[in-house]
């Protein structure tokens, strides 16, 4: 039997080989389509297609339109509206894009046999996190100017304590893109490895049980592992949606801090 | 000792930082649920604080995870 390799499912493979494209300042860059890019493209097509069909603007919504309105209501009601407040409207497209993109990528990763989780690639999650962080920085400086640094300065405190706390606040601000990226990456990687390990138990115990005699008790273990994989798959579906939600809720919290800086929100 | 074996042991030990993150998340969500049952009207308003606390508590576990990866793969 071939060695069981739980990390093999995260390998990035080329799907479509393209010649290297010379870019100014970077030299030739390999822009081949690999499976990570392919699944991100599929996610983009799914989202755009769904929203194009959902946004019919009929007075009595059909099934798809009702679903689209529910997702919009979720993002508007519990994310941007509830956390950022009235000033959160301009950020709704960004937050909704993040939420849908991550959720669809996570769900595509759970497809049996062909699934590849693009969010289990650190390159993808770091890109999303750095994009979020730079938007927070740009919005913060554009809205508050140098008053942005008030974010790190706790009010109503004596100067020594405030100095100490502002250092801690600054560090916890700087590590945000790292934790944002690692949370999504770690959850996806860990969940898929655990599922793979239990799935490999099914095969290993089943082949062991074929020896006959007392070893056929292995079928029980095999069946238990199968039940465990089903339960884990359900858990992973919850996690897929929850991590997309957590990513967008944290984006909203970080945006709210800089948008409502003068409000004491 | 073989350096790769030592690395594996070190990476495994670094993962014990997850204990704290797990306990922290349990305390956080447990207390939130307790407070939400006692005063359901105030529960929705504190949800953003809940997730902020979750981000902070989980980031400690993620540091352990990063250290584990660094030890294993560098």
Rounded mean pLDDT for each run of 10 residues along chain A, 265 residues in total: 68 82 80 88 94 85 88 89 86 93 93 84 93 94 88 84 90 90 89 87 87 84 91 90 92 90 67
- Report whether A70 contacts A193 (CB < 8 A): no
**pLDDT score, position A4:** 66
A174 touches chain B (CB under 8 A): no
Give the Cα separation of A208 and A69 in Å (integer): 52
CA dihedral in degrees (A19, A20, A23, A28; nearest 10)? -150
- pLDDT on residue A116: 87
Contacts of A82 (CB under 8 A, 6+ apart): B44, B47, B48
User: Can you give the pTM of this predicted structure?
Assistant: 0.85
Out of B51, B54, B59, whose CB is closest to A175?
B59
Closest Cα in chain A, distance from residue B60 (Å): 9
Q: What is the pLDDT of residue A100?
A: 94
Strand partners, A34: A14
What's the whole-number average pLDDT of chain A? 87
What is the domain partition of chain A in residue ranges? Answer: 8-259
- Reported as a single tens digit per residue, the pLDDT across A89-106 is 899 999 999 999 999 999
Residues of A in contact with B62 (CB under 8 A): 178-179, 182-183, 186
Q: Which residue has the higher pLDDT, B69 or A231?
A: A231
Å between B51 CA and nearest CA of chain A: 7
The mean per-residue pLDDT over the stretch B38-53 comes to 86
Residue A183 to chain B, least CA–CA distance (Å): 7
Q: Which residues contact A258 (CB under 8 A, 6 or more apart)?
A: A136, A139, A140, A143, A144, A148, A151
**Residue A105 confidence (pLDDT):** 93
| pLDDT computed for residue A264 by the predictor | 57
What is the structure's pLDDT at A1?
Answer: 42
Closest by CA to A126, choosing from A173, A176, A181, A183, is A181
CA dihedral B37, B42, B48, B52 (to 10 degrees): -60
Task: From chain B, pick out residues whose CB is under 8 angstroms from the CB of A186.
Answer: 62, 65
Cα–Cα separations (whole angstroms), residue B48 to A5, A6, A75, B5: 40, 36, 14, 43
CATH number 1.20.140.10 given to B3-73: no
């Amino acid at each position: 039997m071939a060695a069981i390799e739980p990390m093999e499912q995260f390998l990035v493979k080329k799907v479509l080989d393209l010649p290297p494209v010379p870019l100014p300042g970077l030299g030739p860059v390999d822009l081949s389509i690999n499976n990570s890019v392919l699944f991100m493209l599929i996610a983009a097509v799914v989202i755009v297609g769904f929203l194009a069909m959902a946004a019919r603007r009929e007075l009595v919504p059909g099934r798809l339109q009702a679903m689209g309105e529910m997702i919009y209501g979720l993002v508007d009601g519990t994310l941007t509206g509830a956390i950022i407040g009235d000033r959160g409207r301009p950020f709704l497209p960004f937050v909704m894009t993040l939420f849908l993109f991550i959720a669809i990528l996570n769900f595509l990763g759970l497809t049996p046999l062909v699934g590849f989780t693009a969010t289990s690639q650190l390159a993808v999650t770091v890109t999303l996190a750095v994009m979020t962080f730079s938007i927070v920085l740009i919005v913060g400086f554009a809205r508050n100017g140098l008053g942005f640094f008030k974010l790190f300065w706790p009010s109503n405190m004596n100067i020594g304590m405030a100095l100490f706390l502002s250092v801690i606040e600054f560090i916890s601000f700087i590590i945000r893109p790292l934790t944002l990226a690692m949370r999504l990456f770690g959850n996806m990687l860990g969940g898929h490895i655990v599922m793979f390990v239990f799935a490999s138990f099914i095969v290993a115990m089943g082949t062991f049980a074929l020896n006959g005699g007392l070893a056929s008790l292995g079928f029980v273990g095999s069946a238990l592992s199968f039940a465990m994989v089903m339960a884990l798959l359900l858990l992973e579906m919850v996690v897929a949606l929850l991590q997309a939600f957590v990513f967008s809720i944290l984006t909203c919290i970080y945006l709210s801090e800089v948008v409502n800086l003068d409000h004491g929100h | 000792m073989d350096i790769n074996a030592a690395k594996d042991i070190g990476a495994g030990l670094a993962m014990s930082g997850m204990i704290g993150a797990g306990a922290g998340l349990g305390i956080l969500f447990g207390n939130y649920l307790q407070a939400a049952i006692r005063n359901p009207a105030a529960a929705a308003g504190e949800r953003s604080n809940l997730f902020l606390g979750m981000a902070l508590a989980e980031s400690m576990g993620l540091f352990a995870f990063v250290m584990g990866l660094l030890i294993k793969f560098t």
